[in-house]
Structure 1
Amino acid sequence: MKIGELARATSTKIETIRFYEKIGLLPAPARTATNYRAYNQTQLARLSFVRRARDLGFTLDQIRGLLALSDDRDQSCSAVDTVARQHVSEIDRKITDLRALRRELQEMLDQCSQETVSTCRIIESLAPR
């Protein structure tokens, strides 16, 4: 299949596919006689793996590691579990940070008198001190 077909099949932008090839997440495809990229089912599966991992928030480095682990099917999956556990910890930290951010913004809103911008608590808290 051509790059446009691969892009449609995986809901991935063509530029993103080229980027993944450039950084080595996807192997360079074969070329047709007219020099078009020609992708096969293996590359479709690999890009689908990358897309799903990105949807789950894994970093490109984590995905690279997961792909390497996926390519060696006989090893223990404990290394995969380690990557996933680290990612869950990162998600938990982000959730904690977002909750703190939400509390802070809600406190600003609660203190808002809704009069004029000159007395706006939100603008005041954002201004340099």
Structure 2
Amino acid sequence: MSLTPVQTSNAPAAIGPYAQAIKVNGMVFTSGQIPIVPATGQIVEGGIVEQTRQSLTNISEVLKASGSSLEKVIKTTVFLKDMNDFVAVNEVYATFFSTHQPARSAVEVARLPKDVLVEVECIALTE
């Protein structure tokens, strides 16, 4: 078994001692992606809609770098600062996962890195 770290400049660099994703046995496990704009290193301006869009864009870029794509996602986990944002998150999420709808969990958490409103991670196939 070979664990291969994934790294791309098209998604935010890790904020700590972890990889953007790890590939193993035909699968990729992404780290949580928050709404940082890779080019600036800053949180995207706006509210939950813009932050969800940026987080999912970052996930998509990490998947591309791993040889996968949104169409190969098996499971996502969405971490929300406020569950009242669930409907708005779903609306954005549906634009990324319109025909292929992976399994998903969504949970409210007390706090997220850099005090963002949303973080998304996923598991996908690479083959």
State if a TM-score over 0.5 links the two structures. Answer: no
Bigger RCO (CA 8 Å, 6+ sep): 2
Q: Which protein is bigger by CA-based radius of gyration?
A: 1
TM class, shorter-chain normalised?
under 0.3
Which is helix-richer, 1 or 2? 1
Quick check: which one's strand share is greater?
2
* TM-score computed with the length of structure 2 as normaliser: 0.25
Question: TM-score under structure 1 normalisation?
Answer: 0.24
